[in-house]
Structure 1
Amino acid sequence: MRHRAHAVELGRIRGDIGRWARQTGVPEDVTIDLQLAVGEAVANGVEHAYGDDADGTVEVEMELRDGRPPAVLVRVADRGAWRPEPESPGFRGRGLLMIERLARRVRVQCSPGGTEVCFEIPFPA
């Protein structure tokens, strides 16, 4: 999926995830975790990767991995510039923490060409 890096796209992305999950047989509880984690990763891209006037995109890739346990592999990427975290985020700045609680093998890779967040959400045993 490729969407504009704009907050109004978050609802569309959640809907796309829900449809994909139903088509691929992802359990409902995994779908909810997937929507939350991907939503946080996309929101980070929307908020931090591009300036207020930028016309950027956010890409979301998902793959169902068969295995023990099965899992959904996720990649969320933007082409914006990484901005350092503020000294005091206040009530904000919990997106990556939430992703880490919902997923495993969370990896954030920053480069001059953008930021990529990868993780997997396993099915319950």
Structure 2
Amino acid sequence: MADDTGYYSIRFGADPVQLAFFRAGLDRWLHGLAWPEEARVDAILAVSEACTNAVKHAYAGAVPGDVEVVGRLVAGPSSRQVVVTVRDEGVWRPDQGATGYGMSVMKGCMDKVSIHRDDSGTTVTLVSASVPLPGAAAEGYAAAE
């Protein structure tokens, strides 16, 4: 569910087919916020990577659960950011010699990436780079607060 007030939320089954629906909803939300194209693509790529990791790894060998994505807009006086959390209720499994690039992709596309693991699952928090407020000049803006 997305709205133009700066909030996005979806919960879907940890099934690869569901990833396409999630991406389309996130894209619509960011379009509704008039998010700049390059930053929008970066955010979709990073959040998609976090969701893909949850779908592929969180429930391995167990009954698949859900993946929850919640996004919110944080606006400052001259710029804004989106903060998106991706949560699963699976078990963290460290990669066994895997050479994936998921963390590199997320960190390359977002300003901040953090991962919190506990007995109830994993939460990935992604914070976008600051972008100008709609109608503001693209150069010389301060970070969102």
**TM-score in terms of structure 2 length:** 0.78
Cα RMSD, aligned residues only: 1.5
Aligned-pair CA distance for 1:24 = 1.8
Query: What code does the residue aligned with 1:106 have?
Result: V
Report the counterpart of residue 119 of structure 1 in structure 2.
Answer: 126
Q: Output aligned runs, 1:1-125, within 5 Å.
A: 1-52=10-61, 54-67=63-76, 68-86=78-96, 88-90=97-99, 93-122=100-129, 123=131, 125=139
Gapped regions of structure 2 (runs ≥ 5):
1-9, 132-137, 140-145
Counterpart AA for 1:103: M
Measured in 2, the distance between the counterparts of 1:9 and 1:95 equals 19
- The amino acid across from 1:72 in the alignment is V
CA distance in 2, matches of 1:89, 1:103: 23
* Secondary structure of 1:63 counterpart: strand
Percent identical among aligned pairs is 33
Aligned partners of 1:17 and 1:31 also within 8 Å: no
Report the CA distance between 1:15 and its aligned residue: 0.2
Per-residue deviation, 1:51: 2.4
**How far apart, CA to CA, are the structure 2 residues paired with 1:113 and 1:23?**
33
Q: For residues 111 and 77 of structure 1, what CA distance do their matches in structure 2 show? A: 11
Greater C-alpha radius of gyration: 2
Structure with the largest fraction of helix: 1
State the number of aligned residues: 122
Using the TM superposition, give the Cα deviation of residue 52 of structure 1 relative to its aligned residue in structure 2, in angstroms.
4.8
1:34–1:121 CA contact under 8 A, matched in 2: yes
Give, in whole Å, the separation in 1 of the partners of 2:36 and 2:89.
31
